[in-house]
Amino acid sequence: PGRGSWLDFEFDPKDILYFRIDRKKKLPITTILYAIGFNKDKIIKTFYTTDKFVYDKENKNWKTNFKPEKFKRPIKLKFDLIDAKNNKKLLNKGDKLNFIIANKFKEKGTQEILVSNQELIGKYSATEINNKKKENIVQAGSDISEENLEKLIQEDVTSLELVNIDPINKGPYLLETLKNDKNLNKNDALNDIYKILRPGEALTIDVAEEVFKNLYFNKDRYDLSEFGRLKLNSKLDLKSSLKSTILSSEDIVA
């Protein structure tokens, strides 16, 4: 920037995403997202797409929409592909599935497929999952384990919203970062940022928020410059006005 603090992003060896303000101590990137007003659900929905899975008590499997577009990159099936309408096996475990083959199944009437419990293990929940007593079983952003999946079924939780992970284009890095972030909300995040910027100073949430806003969102304290805005727009494919020389939530999310 022409004036103000630097904001740097980096991966660690475990592929956890971090940010630094003026090269000070690093914090999980989800902390700055909390600080600008995001919650867990919004973080997940902003960066990922999701699929819904509905439990079929008769088959003891999960139904989900069949989407040929998910197979534009060919895969080798790890499980049998079964049509939920008639329990017909479309392909065997180990068979290859691509968009053309999937689209043919769709054209012939396959709308939903059956997914076993085993196929859901390791996937990430897009939402917090509670039982009927409002007791939490799975946190938003946490992965589904065999143990908590059994508990969900026992507690009669019949609908799950799970995150789509594409190892090439949309890996689980942000979800793993969420799991490693001890902060859970805006106030926690602002407190953590303040402690790094003003170590040892007395803390109130109002002061912490003001200090954070002054970093990148106050034109008297921060100036990206028109050239800086041009470069940022080009790099992140943004369309912000060149006169907008402070950062926005859109800039950070991009």
Q: Where are the domains of the chain?
A: 7-45+178-222, 49-164
According to DSSP, the β-strands at 112-115 and 129-130 are: unpaired
Using CA atoms, how far residue 178 sits from 29, 175, 184, 186, 209, in Å, is 8, 5, 9, 14, 21
Give the CATH architecture of domain 7-45+178-222: Alpha-Beta Complex (3.90)
Residue 38: which residues within 8 A CB-CB, separation 6 or more? 46
pTM: 0.85
Per residue in 207-224, pLDDT tens? 999 999 999 999 999 998
Q: How far apart are CA 29 and CA 183, in angstroms?
A: 11
Per residue in 148-192, pLDDT tens? 999 999 999 999 999 999 767 788 999 999 999 999 999 999 999
Q: pLDDT confidence of 225, banded at 50, 70, 90?
A: confident
The whole-number pLDDT of residue 35 equals 97
Share of the chain above pLDDT 70, in %: 100
Q: pLDDT confidence of 254, banded at 50, 70, 90?
A: confident
Whether 253 shows a pLDDT value over 90: the answer reads no
The whole-number pLDDT of residue 203 equals 85
The whole-number pLDDT of residue 1 equals 78
